Structure 1
Amino acid sequence: MLTFSGSLSILMGVSGIAQDSLFATSSRYTYWFDLTTWGVLHLVVGVLLVITGLAVLVHKSWGRGAGAAVAAISLITQFMFVPHYPAWAIPMMTLDLLILFALTRFHIETSGSR
C-alpha cells in the first residue's frame, strides 16, 4: 500500500509541476502555495513513500517506523491539499490512515505450538 500511495503521490506531483488545470487555486486559503510547490511537495513525499514501501517489503528493520512517519506526513499534506482537489485528497487521506493502522499494529509472535 505504501508503494501504491507513493506512486499516486508522484503522479499528483508531476501534474502539479506541469501546471495542470486539474487543480482549483484560491488565494484565500491559509496553506496557500503555488502549484509548483505543491507538485514538488507531493513528488518528494511520493518518492519517500515508495522507498519506505520497498523497505517494508524486504523486511528492513527501519521500514515500518519510517513508513509510518512518511504516511503521517503524507496524511498531513493531503489534508492541507483538500481545498485544491478534494476528490483526490480525501481518498488519499483514507489510504494513508489505513497504512498507518497497518504499520502501527502490535504483532505478538509466539514460538510455541499454540
Structure 2
Amino acid sequence: MTATHTGHPHTAARGWAEGLTVFAAVMLMLVGLLAVLRGIMAIAKDDVFVATSGYVFEFDLTGWGWVHLILGAVAVVVSVGLFQASMWARVGGVVIAGLVIITNFLSLPYYPVWSIVVIAFSAFVIWALCVVRQDESSDPERR
C-alpha cells in the first residue's frame, strides 16, 4: 500500500476500481453523445437512414430519433455522476446502457454499423460498472 496525498492508504485494487469507473464514465459519455447525434440526425433528416420494410420492430424514424436523443441526454447526465463515483450513477449507468443496447438492437436495420458500435460501447460500460465492488470504488472510510 502507498499513501495518497491525503495520507490515506491507496491500494492497487482501489486504483483499478477508480480506473474502471472513469473508463465507464468516459464510455457512457461517448455513448450518450453518439445517441444524441443519432437522434438529431433522425429528427432533422430521417432520409439519412435506410428504411427496411418488413422488419418486425418497424417504427417511425423520427420517433426513434426522439428515443435516442432522450436516452443519450440521460446517459450524458449519468456519466457526469460516474465521474463523482456516485452509487446512483453506477446503477443508472447500468440501466441506461442496457436501454441503449435494447434501442440500438431494435433500430439495427436503420443504421447497422453505428448500432453495433454503440451496443459494444454500452456492453463495456455495463461490464466496467458491474466488476467494481462498492467498497473498492466509493467507500468513504478508504478515502
TM-score, normalised relative to structure 1: 0.90
Q: Given the alignment of the two structures, is residue 82 of structure 1 paired with residue 108 of structure 2, yes or no?
A: yes
Tell me which amino acid in the other structure corresponds to 1:20: D
Partner of 2:96: 70
Shift of 1:86: 0.7
The structural deviation recorded for 1:59 is: 2.1
Deviation at 1:61? 2.3
SS in structure 1 of the partner of residue 126 of structure 2: helix
CA distance in structure 2 between the partners assigned to 1:18 and 1:73 by the alignment: 23
Question: 1:65-92 CA distances to partner (integer Å, 9 max, x unpaired)?
Answer: 0110000000001111111111110111
More helix per residue: 1 or 2? 2
Structure 2 stretches lacking a partner, 5+ long: 1-26
SS at match of 1:31: coil
Equivalent position amino acid for 2:56 in 1: T
Q: CA deviation at 1:34?
A: 1.1
* Aligned pairs, number: 112
2:23 equivalent in structure 1: none
- Structure with the bigger RCO (C-alpha within 8 Å, sep 6+) is 2
Cross-structure match for 1:24: 50
User: Which shifted more, 4-13 or 100-109?
Assistant: 100-109
Post-superposition shift, 1:30? 1.0
Identity %: 34
Mark the structure with the bigger radius of gyration: 2
Aligned to 1:104: 130
